């Protein structure tokens, strides 16, 4: 096995240590906010109620390498506001629009350039749920399958659903493992062969791990193979959340939004499952300094750059956890998605949605 890079622990002096091979990275200025703000850590009530108000977004550049992705002077745009808790963005290239979810409001909205965000699926998840049992009735993570149809992590319905984008007709893809209902599927990644990787924390259940609805003994990381077989890849994580694969699909990344041990994990991945689990980023120091939110959604660019939600905002970093930049608003930024053929990054940030223009051809 190759040498495992040192874990980025979120401290400001990390970049200046000798084991970083002389990399010089600027200091991160995190906005001081509640260390317990943000959806993943507040299992008893919707996170939007606990999250601090967002300020104007800004970019904290931490490496000159970031300039190849985002031109100096580029501003983050706010494209939608007034959302209870923005999540699950996905760009639909065929229709030239963005979809994003609002789990507590049970709506998926659609946004086009020059327009406003309007309801696309209402309800987006389970209708008529009892709030004493289901905390988040709506869809959470969104992605597209290999045919271009919408996949929904249906938090309230406790399933993965497929939606025809033309007719909006819905069907259940999977809702059980070994005959037992999932907790509340949260986020997903579709591999090149159509295999679906997804996380299943208890955030959709009002009482979390003590919910009378919970049938599984774990908060798992799963994959659904093209032949329909569901495999439990990882069952030891307390709060698995965001999920992504490396470009060559030999690494699996999983964010853990546990307030007591926030981190991003990485695993070696093959047909037999996962192995060699290790911490890629320890986010405890970021949280201790007052960074809003916890590790949440993530995406991996074609060149391997990770864009991941961390306490304090949305972090750009290399595959060996060298930090490149942080987008911050003072409130949690839950998830992200590349769009417009790699020329924009969309971010769901508490009560709003952001767009960051990217350089043309930066991934080539």
User: pLDDT by residue (tens digit) across 223-250?
Assistant: 999 999 999 999 999 999 999 999 999 9
pLDDT of residue 2: 39
pLDDT of residue 23: 29
- Specify if 3 maps to a domain: no
Model pTM above 0.85: yes
Question: What integer is the mean pLDDT of 245-266?
Answer: 97
Residue 330 near residue 37, CB atoms below 8 Å: no
pLDDT of residue 127: 81
pLDDT of residue 128: 80
- Specify if 88 maps to a domain: yes
Whether the predicted pLDDT of 42 surpasses 50? no
pLDDT of residue 150: 98
Written in H, E and C, the secondary structure of the chain is CCCCCCCECCCCCHHHCHHHCCCCCCCCCCCCCCCCCCCCCCCCCCHHHHCCCCCCCEEEECCHHHHHCCCCCCCCEEEECCCCCCEEEEEECCCCEEEEEEHHHCEEEEECCCCCCEEEECCCCCCCCCCCCECCCCEEEEEECCCCCEEEEECCCCEEEEECCCCCCEEEEECEECCEECCCCCCEEECCCCCEEEEECCCCECCHHHCCCCCCCCCEEEEECCCCCEEEEECCCCCEEEEEECCCCCEEEEEECCCCCCEEEEEEEECCEEEEEEEEEECHHHHHCCCCCCCCCEEECCCCCEEEEECCEEEEECCCCCEEEEEECCCCCCEEEEECCCCEEEEEECCEEEEEECCCCCCC
- Count how many domains the chain has: 1
- Specify if 6 maps to a domain: no
Give the CATH number for residue 288.
2.120.10.30
Residue 124 near residue 138, CB atoms below 8 Å: yes
pLDDT of residue 38: 36
Higher-pLDDT residue of 236 and 16 is 236
Higher-pLDDT residue of 45 and 148 is 148
Whether the predicted pLDDT of 288 surpasses 60? yes
- Specify if 141 maps to a domain: yes
- Specify if 4 maps to a domain: no
Q: How far apart are CA 91 and CA 142, in angstroms?
A: 10
pLDDT of residue 4: 41
- Specify if 353 maps to a domain: yes
Q: What are the residues whose beta carbons fall under 8 Å from the beta carbon of 228, sequence distance 6 or more?
A: none
Whether the predicted pLDDT of 29 surpasses 80? no
Higher-pLDDT residue of 44 and 163 is 163
In which domain, by residue range, is 188 found?
A: 14-357
- Specify if 362 maps to a domain: no
pLDDT of residue 73: 94
- Specify if 85 maps to a domain: yes
Q: State pLDDT tens for residues 57-93.
A: 999 999 999 999 999 999 999 999 999 999 999 999 9
Q: State pLDDT tens for residues 323-361.
A: 999 999 999 999 999 999 999 999 999 999 999 999 987
């Amino acid at each position: 096995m190759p040498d495992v890079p040192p874990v980025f622990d979120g401290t400001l002096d990390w970049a200046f240590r000798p084991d970083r091979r002389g990399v010089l990275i600027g200091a991160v200025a995190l906005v001081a906010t509640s260390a317990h703000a943000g959806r993943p850590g507040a299992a008893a009530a919707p996170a939007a109620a606990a999250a601090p108000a967002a300020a104007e977004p800004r970019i904290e550049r931490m490496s000159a390498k970031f300039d190849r992705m985002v031109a100096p002077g580029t501003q983050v745009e706010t494209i939608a506001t007034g959302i209870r808790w923005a999540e699950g963005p996905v760009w639909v290239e065929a229709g030239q629009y963005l979809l994003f979810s609002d789990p507590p409001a049970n709506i998926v909205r659609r946004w086009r350039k020059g327009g406003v965000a309007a309801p696309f699926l209402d309800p987006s998840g389970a209708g008529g749920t009892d709030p004493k049992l289901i905390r988040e009735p709506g869809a959470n993570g969104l992605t597209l399958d290999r045919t271009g149809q919408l996949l929904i992590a249906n938090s309230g319905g406790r399933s993965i659903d497929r939606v025809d984008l033309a007719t909006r007709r819905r069907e259940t893809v999977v809702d059980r493992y070994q005959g037992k209902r999932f907790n509340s599927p949260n986020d997903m990644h579709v591999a090149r062969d159509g295999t679906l990787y997804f996380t299943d924390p208890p955030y959709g259940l009002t009482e979390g791990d003590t919910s009378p609805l919970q049938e599984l003994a774990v908060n798992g990381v799963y994959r659904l193979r093209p032949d329909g077989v569901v495999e439990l890849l990882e069952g030891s994580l307390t709060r698995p959340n965001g999920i992504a694969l490396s470009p060559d699909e030999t690494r699996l990344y999983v964010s853990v939004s546990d307030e007591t041990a926030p981190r991003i994990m990485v695993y070696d991945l093959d047909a037999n499952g996962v192995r060699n689990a290790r911490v890629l980023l320890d986010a405890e120091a970021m949280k201790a300094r007052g960074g809003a939110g916890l590790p949440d959604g993530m995406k991996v660019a074609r060149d391997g750059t990770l864009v991941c939600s961390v306490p304090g905002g949305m972090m750009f970093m290399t595959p060996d956890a060298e930090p490149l930049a942080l987008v911050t608003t003072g409130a949690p930024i839950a998830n992200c998605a590349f769009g417009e053929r790699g020329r924009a990054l969309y971010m769901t940030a508490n009560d709003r949605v952001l767009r960051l223009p990217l350089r043309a051809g930066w991934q080539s």
